[in-house]
Amino acid sequence: MHRFANPARFLRLARALQPWLLAVTLPCLVAGLYYGLFNSPIDYQQKDTVRIMYVHVPAAWTAMFGYAMLAVASAIGLIWKHPLADLAGKAVAPIGAGFTAIALATGSLWGKPTWGTWWVWDARLTSVVVLLFLYLGYIAIWNAFEQPQRAAKAAAVLALVGIVNLPIIKFSVDWWNTLHQPASITRMGASAIDPAMLTPLLLMAGAYMGLFLLLFLLRMRVELAERRVAALQLARSRAGEAR
Amino acid sequence: MSGFLAILARDLKLARAESGGALLAVQFFALGALLFPLGLGPEPAMLSRIGGGLLAVMALLATLLALDRLFQQDHEDGTLDLLLTAPTPLWSLVMGKTLAHWLLTGGPMIVAAPVLGILLQMSWPAIAGLVVALALGTPTLSLVGAIGASLTLGARRGGVLLALLVLPLYIPVLIFMSGTVTAAETGLAFGAHVSILGALLLLSLVLAPWAAAVALRQTGE
């Protein structure tokens, strides 16, 4: 853990990883979109609208993964006081919020033709809206304090408190009898989805995850560069005062 | 324990000294609730249907209203720095302050709720359900609110930020409070809703004072 808390080493690792991630993400995205949108069976009830699944479900998965990552980074930041973990939380939050918004928007577009409504106050949908607001609250805390250390701590506590929402999202469809369909892929025994549909779904999940990590590494590099610029400016103004 | 009781007594005494400021939340609760019949029309059937949920929402907002003062004054006049160095564990002091907050907001709301329920044409079973729901729900609101209040201490535009942080966390409490009222009104068993409200209260009793104490420590650094 402490090995990767060194910004210089992290940057080296990030630069080395990026081409590989790109090499995995792009083919996954192209193949996933092709199979998902053109070459997968249509649903006997939903017809072509089932294809929204390939952009909706991976977005929801990525949104939840992002929050889990935010919480882990926050815990590491609070316990071991690694500035890099704080920065990781700051970097990951807008990406997670973006994927949450994509999941909500595509879900709404899917809901209109299949359920006949853009929105229902169902447990799964409501808890995902709460997820979006937790992300936004986390970002707002970062912007509300003068000192970044204080902002990082406050934001981290909020992220950890908000983790109670993740199991609610995951199990909402089992606990409440609602319009949103129950889990069909990650359940005990065989997956309830046809392999012809599962393959493009998993390809898209890989593409989203790769995109998520790419954006994360990019944002980390920007954050570290900003920190460096701020430190250099501070050093320069100090040197100016000394003269 | 003595620290807990001392801070509780102090906060209550301070609130009484402010004469009137202490019961601001319950006044807001009542006044806000009375705006709805004027805005939506005084139809008894409609009012009795929405009354429970409406009062539950007002309880959230009234709790929120009094929250930013929970630690603000102590932070400004330096009391908080003394509390941070006190031998009593910080979480128990947070519990004392939060209990004082609840006695001044949630407690009066529970007392006022039946009267407002009558004004909103709610049935007696629904009013009983509402009182049970508020009795279990409002302490949770105060406890979760204490986390938000400690996080936003010294933040720019802390009040707005506080609402943004706390309201999403209030949603489960709201859902099960109004669920209790609806179940009680229709004569269904509301034990499940009440149990979940109780579980939320126990969970926040364990987690909230600790989280708020962690957040308060950061202000002293």
A160 near B CB under 8 A: yes
On the question of pLDDT at A190 being above 60, the answer is no
Check: CB of residue B177 under 8 Å from CB of residue B56.
yes
Span A25-31, average pLDDT: 91
> A133: which chain B residues are within 8 Å (Cβ-Cβ)?
164, 167-168
The residue of B91, B94, B151 whose CB has the most chain A CBs within 10 angstroms, and thus the best one to mutate to test that interface, is B151
B50 vs A195: CA distance, rounded Å: 47
A75 near B CB under 8 A: no
Check: CB of residue A170 under 8 Å from CB of residue A67.
no
The secondary structure of B122-181 as a DSSP string is: --HHHHHHHHHHHHHHHHHHHHHHHHHHHHTTT-TTHHHHHHHHHHHHHHHHHHHHHHHH
CB spacing of B215 vs A157 below 8 angstroms:
yes
B210 vs B221: CA distance, rounded Å: 17
- Quickly state the pLDDT bin for A178 (edges 50, 70, 90): low
Span A144-152, average pLDDT: 86
B196 near A CB under 8 A: no
On the question of pLDDT at A84 being above 60, the answer is yes
Nearest beta carbon to residue B161 from set A144, A150, A157: A144
CB spacing of B215 vs A154 below 8 angstroms:
yes
On the question of pLDDT at A174 being above 80, the answer is no
The alpha carbon of residue B65 is apart from the nearest alpha carbon of chain A, in Å, by 18
B198 near A CB under 8 A: no
3-class state of residue A47 by DSSP: strand
CB spacing of B219 vs A150 below 8 angstroms:
yes
Classify residue A46 by burial, with Cβ atoms within 10 Å: 0-12, 13-18, 19+: middle
B81 vs B154: CA distance, rounded Å: 14
φ, ψ of residue B68 to 5 degrees: the values are: -70, -15
Span B51-60, average pLDDT: 93
On the question of pLDDT at A11 being above 90, the answer is no
Instruction: Return the pLDDT at B177.
Output: 93
The residue of A136, A145, A149, A166 whose CB has the most chain B CBs within 10 angstroms, and thus the best one to mutate to test that interface, is A145
Instruction: Return the pLDDT at B24.
Output: 85
The alpha carbon of residue B220 is apart from the nearest alpha carbon of chain A, in Å, by 10
CB spacing of A158 vs B161 below 8 angstroms:
no
CB spacing of B171 vs A126 below 8 angstroms:
yes
Comparing A60 with B23, the larger pLDDT belongs to: A60
- pLDDT one-digit tens code per residue, B178-217: 989 988 888 887 788 899 999 999 999 999 999 999 888 8
On the question of pLDDT at A188 being above 60, the answer is no
- pLDDT one-digit tens code per residue, A40-66: 777 777 777 888 888 999 999 999 999
Per-residue DSSP letter, A90: H
B144 vs B154: CA distance, rounded Å: 18
CB spacing of A133 vs B167 below 8 angstroms:
yes
CB spacing of B218 vs A153 below 8 angstroms:
yes
CB spacing of A154 vs B168 below 8 angstroms:
no
- Quickly state the pLDDT bin for B35 (edges 50, 70, 90): very high
Q: What is the ipTM of this complex?
A: 0.82
Query: How many Cβ atoms from other residues are within 10 Å of residue A126's Cβ?
Result: 20
Instruction: Return the pLDDT at A104.
Output: 94
Structure tokens, A91: 């970097």
pLDDT more than 90, % of chain A: 43
The alpha carbon of residue B168 is apart from the nearest alpha carbon of chain A, in Å, by 6
- Quickly state the pLDDT bin for B148 (edges 50, 70, 90): very high
Span B136-156, average pLDDT: 92
A78 vs A81: CA distance, rounded Å: 5
Instruction: Return the pLDDT at B82.
Output: 86
CB spacing of A157 vs B161 below 8 angstroms:
no
Span A81-105, average pLDDT: 93
Average pLDDT, chain B: 89
3-class state of residue B161 by DSSP: helix
Check: CB of residue B216 under 8 Å from CB of residue B209.
no
Nearest beta carbon to residue A137 from set B164, B211, B214: B164
Nearest beta carbon to residue A141 from set B151, B207, B219: B151
pTM of the model: 0.86
